[in-house]
Amino acid sequence: MILRPHIDDVKNIGYYLGKIILSLGLTMFLPVIIALAFNEINPALDFLISIEIALIFGLILTKLCFTGKDLNWMQGMIVVSLSWLAAMFLGAIPLYLSGHWKSYLDACFDAMSGFATTGLVLVQDLDHLSFTHNLWRHLIMFIGGQGIVIVALSFLVRGFSGALKMYVGEARDERLLPNVIHTARFIWLVSIVYLILGTLALGIVGLLNGMRPVNAFFHGACIFMAAFDTGGFAPQSQNILYYHSLTFEVITVVIMILGALNFKLHYHLWMGNLKEIFKNIETRTLFMTVMLTFFLTAVGLSHTGAYPKAMVLFRKGFYQLISGHTGTGYMTIYARQFINEWGDLALVAVICAMALGGGVCSTTGGIKMLRIGIIIKALKQDLKRIILPEKAVVAQKFHHIKEIFLEDKQVRSALLITLAYLFLYGIGAIIGMLLGYPFLASLFESTSAAANVGLSCGITDIHMPAVLKLTYILQMWAGRLEFMSVFTLIGFFIAAIKGKK
């Protein structure tokens, strides 16, 4: 029997949602400071208007729904799913006010793409966008990559129990430290240390390549935020191709791989446990899948003759492949080259890489390496059961920070999430085909959106149908949250309509 939600459920959800909206509003003061530094008055006004709207909504919710109660699991999941929608609507306001987006829907598309660290864009005349708005585009990737709720957990939420429920609802089921709030703060510490180092490295390369100091370090900070959070936004419309620098590409590859690693693995590496990177099931699986998908990509590119020289083939092929596999979406080719030059085999290899993703509890999307590793281990265990005598006891272990015995519930969970992702990739591809796009191109773009990657073969464009824009927004949202909190929200609405008092 389904029970109708109580008014206390609504109040609890509203109160914590209000807190998260308030924290989002406060983050918009950073672009205002940048606007004042660069003497960009109109962009500053865009953000002041947005801050006012966010604070009004946040204060109304926290006052109307004030409660001293902690969140239960259902409420925590719903707060998370609604927070990401609220972030999209609020984050899109300054973008739309800039005049660089054709409609508010397009601004919402880019806002969700940013928060979900996808990287697909509908912005117009990006090369002339203000410093202030450009910073905001990359800052929302930085916030979204760490997790919108992580912001609130770090500064505004005191209750341990409620914090844990929102933390898990944001597709982070692994804690680095016993206290989830300390875990959230460690994630910020890691990210900010890498931000400083990455900005310096990319800024110096920019300086050596002839960029003005302000531009070099501004671009360095923006590119780092989008690379480490496996987002894919860039300050220029040509993306990474704009820089024409092998050194720049190598540094971004390193940052993308760092972003694809589990924060728990980062924690152990920071604690001096360097051997973990060679033993962990996620890094081992990532290495194998990168090698396999790159082999297929190289064979496909060799067959089409797109890049006659081996070094050029490696440089172009490996960069797009690792960008797709880590869920970043940075490109050193033009979008249409995927369709016109790469051929079907290379395209399928990149689609597979995008679908697989990086580590759990990282900033990437997709199925994730831990689940792929568990499914492979389960397959290996079943093969042993067939080959060995019936009375033989077959136990399978895997190493993820520690030695863990494989259990049926782990396999079932990995398979269910994998199936949900495959369904999400497929449904977007079918909608794309119904709107007249070819199968492989539709599957490529759908996988890119649902796995929060951002590589594009040219479908994502301001002229694509509104239905497809909405489809990709929903895919980015559901893919980033890994379904559970989205399913809980749907169940909550069904219970509100059909449930019994």
Residue 163's pLDDT band (boundaries 50, 70, 90)?
A: low
Instruction: Please check whether residue 76 is in contact with residue 168, taking contact to mean a CB–CB distance below 8 angstroms.
Output: yes
Instruction: Please check whether residue 198 is in contact with residue 224, taking contact to mean a CB–CB distance below 8 angstroms.
Output: yes
Lowest mean pLDDT among 9-23, 88-102, 298-312, 441-455: 9-23
Q: Residue 72 has what pLDDT? A: 83
Q: Residue 278 has what pLDDT? A: 92
Q: Residue 85 has what pLDDT? A: 95
Separation in Å, CA 478 to CA 115, 305, 367: 12, 38, 12
Using the predicted structure, report yes or no on whether residue 228 has a pLDDT greater than 70: yes
Long-range contacts for 31-36 (Cβ within 8 Å, ≥24 apart)?
Answer: 31/94, 31/132, 31/133, 31/135, 31/136, 31/139, 32/132, 34/131, 34/132, 34/135, 35/130, 35/131, 35/132
Lowest mean pLDDT among 74-78, 277-281, 408-412: 74-78
pLDDT per residue as tens digits for the range 377-389: 999 999 998 998 8
Select the more confidently predicted residue: 139 or 1.
139
% pLDDT > 70, the chain: 93
Using the predicted structure, report yes or no on whether residue 150 has a pLDDT greater than 70: no
Q: Residue 157 has what pLDDT? A: 56
Closest CA to 328 of 234, 191, 419: 234
Instruction: Please check whether residue 296 is in contact with residue 345, taking contact to mean a CB–CB distance below 8 angstroms.
Output: yes
Residue with tokens 């109660």: 69
Of the chain, the end-to-end C-alpha distance in Å amounts to 10
pLDDT per residue as tens digits for the range 346-375: 999 999 999 999 998 888 889 999 999 999
* Token duo for residue 404: 């863990």
* Token duo for residue 250: 């190598």
The rounded distance, in Å, linking the Cα atoms of 107 and 179 is 37
Residue 169's pLDDT band (boundaries 50, 70, 90)?
A: low
Separation in Å, CA 106 to CA 111, 236, 465, 479: 9, 18, 11, 19
pLDDT per residue as tens digits for the range 317-340: 999 999 999 999 999 999 999 999
pLDDT per residue as tens digits for the range 456-470: 999 999 999 999 999
> 407-419 burial by CB neighbour count: b if 16+ within 10 A, else e?
eeebbeebeebbe
Helix axis angle for 466-481 and 439-450, nearest 10°, is 40
